Amino acid sequence: MSKILVTGGLGYIGSHTVVELMKAGYEPVIVDDLSNSHPKILDQITRITGKKPVFHQLDLKDEAGVRNLVTAGPNISGIIHFAASKAVGESVQFPLKYYHNNIYSLINLLNAYYGKAVNFVFSSSCTVYGQPDHLPVDENAPVKPAESPYGNTKQIAEEILRDTVASGANYKVISLRYFNPVGAHESALIGELPIGVPQNLVPFITQTAIGKREKITVFGDDYNTPDGSCIRDYIHVVDLAKAHIAALRLMETDSFKGYDVFNLGTGKGNSVLEIIHAFEKTTGVKLNYTIGPRRGGDIEQIWGQVTKAKESLHWQTELSIDTMMASAWAWEKYLSNNPL
């Protein structure tokens, strides 16, 4: 069985990807420093899959620890690199934490496995496009100056990976530019676990619905969009997880060489108000929401051109906005009955 190192494998997208890897017959080896994840997620993955994956608690900034993984750890054929800090606001406040954690970890990992034949999947973001000039945005659109240190770490990491591949290393690399991942596993045993007050829309919606937050504020209704609120391309986290397996499969073929990048979205945009109303309709729960000022750094609208992933990865999304909302809600209810 092919072993895949999954860094950040107990995090939101990481845990869903571990489940899909196991379903697809891979053996994930999870590395996570638990800085933004919960150790119990390992038990939850075990409940879903019936098998406990190998787990190492390790901070990828620990150079000796990462080298030890290579010498003492299993032979791996691939790496899926999720481990990174991801709070946009925090990155503006503590840029050095973000550059240190997100960039140094990547360099340690690449150095440690340098020369080995490893297929590498990188967790990138549509944030690299900023506000695109044309919609839907495709992979050839220019990368815009980053709005935040977090966004900049994604741009820099993509460049590091491109340069590393070009240097003749034995790596094949695919960067996946995610649009907005939401929702949870159908079992409701894993999902997004924000620490403190959620920054992202859907966890804020579900926490408001369950009564943990009094109300949700829509950040601006005066944008140049049909209903005035911002538009994003929301993608179910399980669809997103499956794309990582498709990326590995592509790199396992001889025809794939070097480095490539793919958008991962549905190809459709939805406004904040549409998401709120979809949640209300699907769950039957009324949301207490108000309209507030714009949030600094938000772009007006973005959705992806996703034909490249469809053609080359033979992957496309299957799950609807309603399924995204229903699964996110089922997970929130599970958490309130079974706190981790």
Residue numbers at the binding site for ligand UD1 (CB under 6 A)? 86, 88, 125, 127, 147, 151, 180, 199-201, 204, 216-219, 230, 232, 272, 295, 297-298
Minimum CB distance to ligand UD1 smaller for 171 or for 303:
303
Min CB(85)–ligand UD1 separation in Å: 11
Minimum CB distance to ligand UD1 smaller for 101 or for 125:
125
User: 39: Cβ–Cβ under 8 A, 6 or more apart, which residues?
Assistant: 10
Distance between CA 190 and CA 210 in Å, rounded? 17
Min CB(212)–ligand UD1 separation in Å: 13
The 8 Å CB, 24+ separation contacts for 95-102 are 95/149, 98/149, 98/150, 98/153, 99/149, 99/152, 99/153, 99/156, 100/61, 101/61, 102/150, 102/153, 102/154, 102/157
Q: Which residues are marked as active site?
A: 150
Minimum CB distance to ligand UD1 smaller for 26 or for 331:
331
Min CB(205)–ligand UD1 separation in Å: 8
Preceding omega of 28 cis (within 30 degrees of 0)? no
Q: Which residue is nearest to ligand UD1 (CB)?
A: 230
Distance between CA 161 and CA 149 in Å, rounded? 18
The first and second tokens of residue 11, run together, are 């995090």
Minimum CB distance to ligand UD1 smaller for 76 or for 230:
230
Count Cβ atoms below 10 Å from residue 35 Cβ, excluding itself.
12
Minimum CB distance to ligand UD1 smaller for 218 or for 261:
218
Sign (positive/negative) of CA torsion 309, 86, 301, 270? positive
User: 67: Cβ–Cβ under 8 A, 6 or more apart, which residues?
Assistant: 112
Min CB(193)–ligand UD1 separation in Å: 13
User: 216: Cβ–Cβ under 8 A, 6 or more apart, which residues?
Assistant: 204, 205, 208, 276, 287, 288, 289, 290
The residue with tokens 């973001």 is 125
Q: What is the rounded end-to-end Cα distance, in angstroms, of the chain?
A: 31
Quick one: residue 307, left, alpha or beta (phi over 0 = left, psi -120 to 50 = alpha)?
alpha
Min CB(43)–ligand UD1 separation in Å: 25
Minimum CB distance to ligand UD1 smaller for 74 or for 297:
297
Q: Letter for the amino acid at 175?
A: S
Min CB(161)–ligand UD1 separation in Å: 17
